[in-house]
Chains A and B, each alone.
Chain A
């Protein structure tokens, strides 16, 4: 008998929750393929280490961009491998709940469920990421009070107001922490004349990136390829430079939070002031982001206890209580 699964199929990381066992897999959503034969060479951490460092015949790709499937075939293979790794075989077909961005189109929705069914799932249901995040972050969403959750992922940022187990207001933008990495790459190329890879940009963000000034700021050295000479070169970057480089992306995220607040019913506004908003997702770990959102919305912002796992834990709770929480699934609401 197969154990049912919840999957947070994120642009950056994929997490799998197994019914009765908890989170059994947590790894980057990356797959390495042989360009000529199409064979899968590596997935997860192993494939992540290959990004930007592969010979010509190998390609390491993220099959999801902006929370959407960019390559259906590769995604299906990745889901199939994930299911195999957690013990699903052709004889054990589990029910699967997959977390997806709320802004997903009907076509994208079908692509995800089809990929899961073809990969071996008996039934595939979808749940919106902010809803799953609110469940996993332990917000009192069963009460008639306004709970606000901001989920900043790799490719999407979603803000939702939830009350009595349902979404009251929602705002999503296809901007996330990968756009912050891209902004850093572009800035370093433009201002310092050196090319850096996706992983280096991410490391700069983690090391000195911030959305607002923080007390313990340090500079960082970064190495890349000089665009003029083609030789390796090292430059020093300051936190102010990175803040300037990513300001456009951060502003888009903050503006989407403001729009969501404006959409929420007036009755819930006082709840936000007293209870605050909760940040989840890897993008929420950017230094100074909570302070920046708080400054611009005048609403307290709190970090969830398990920002990276909240979404899959929420979906995991739905798989543990599948019948009682059926109405949470997209397309199942009555």
Chain B
């Protein structure tokens, strides 16, 4: 019974170690996908959302400049 439990624990440890290692070691597929994700995030469609969806607070400095105009 004890041998079986030890064997199960050892198998679990090996499986977890293998999973952890495979996640930590970047494969070439990971780097390709990562670079593609990077380029996709820079696409004009992705950026348009940031630029167009949100309001821009304009500076009131232009109004005050007119009042203070010393030239």
Closest to A222 in B: B71
- 8 Å CB interface, B45-71 against A: 46-51, 53-61, 64-65, 68-71
Given known contacts A136-B51, A164-B39, A221-B71, is B65 in contact with A203 (CB within 8 Å)? Answer: yes
Given known contacts A48-B61, A320-B50, is B55 in contact with A23 (CB within 8 Å)? Answer: yes
Asked whether B55 lies within 8 Å of A223 as measured between CB atoms, the reply is no
Contacts of A207 in B (CB 8 A): 69, 71
What 0/1 readout, one digit per residue, does chain A (134-165) give for beta carbons within 8 Å of chain B?
01101011100000000000000000000011
What 0/1 readout, one digit per residue, does chain A (303-334) give for beta carbons within 8 Å of chain B?
00010110001001100110011010000000
Given known contacts A45-B61, A327-B38, is B71 in contact with A316 (CB within 8 Å)? Answer: no
Contacts of A142 in B (CB 8 A): 39-40, 42-44
A200: interface (CB < 8 Å) = yes
Contacts of A164 in B (CB 8 A): 39
Closest to B26 in A: A334
In the complex, A325→B36 CA distance in Å?
11
Closest to A317 in B: B50
In the complex, A317→B41 CA distance in Å?
9
A41: interface (CB < 8 Å) = no
Contacts of A48 in B (CB 8 A): 61
Given known contacts A26-B57, A203-B70, A222-B71, is B38 in contact with A138 (CB within 8 Å)? Answer: no
A302: interface (CB < 8 Å) = no
Number of interface residues of A (CB under 8 A): 44
What 0/1 readout, one digit per residue, does chain A (197-241) give for beta carbons within 8 Å of chain B?
001100110111000000000001111000000000000000000
A24: interface (CB < 8 Å) = yes
Asked whether A22 lies within 8 Å of B55 as measured between CB atoms, the reply is yes
In the complex, A203→B64 CA distance in Å?
12
- How far does the Cβ of A161 sit from chain B's closest Cβ, in whole Å? 16
Choice from A27, A28, A45, A324 contacting B37 with Cβ under 8 Å:
A324
A49: interface (CB < 8 Å) = yes
In the complex, A31→B67 CA distance in Å?
21
Asked whether A23 lies within 8 Å of B44 as measured between CB atoms, the reply is no
In the complex, A69→B25 CA distance in Å?
39
Asked whether B58 lies within 8 Å of A138 as measured between CB atoms, the reply is no
In the complex, A17→B50 CA distance in Å?
10
Contacts from B to A (Cβ < 8 Å):
37-44, 46-51, 53-61, 64-65, 68-71
Given pairs A21-B54, A138-B48, A325-B41, 14 additional interface contacts (CB within 8 A):
A22-B57, A26-B59, A28-B61, A45-B60, A45-B64, A48-B61, A140-B44, A141-B42, A165-B38, A203-B65, A203-B71, A220-B71, A316-B54, A320-B49
Contacts from A to B (Cβ < 8 Å):
13, 17, 20-28, 45, 48-49, 135-136, 138, 140-142, 164-165, 199-200, 203-204, 206-208, 220-223, 306, 308-309, 313, 316-317, 320-321, 324-325, 327
15 of the cross-chain contacts (CB-CB < 8 Å) are A22-B55, A22-B56, A23-B57, A24-B57, A26-B57, A26-B59, A49-B64, A142-B40, A207-B71, A316-B54, A317-B50, A317-B51, A324-B37, A325-B38, A325-B41
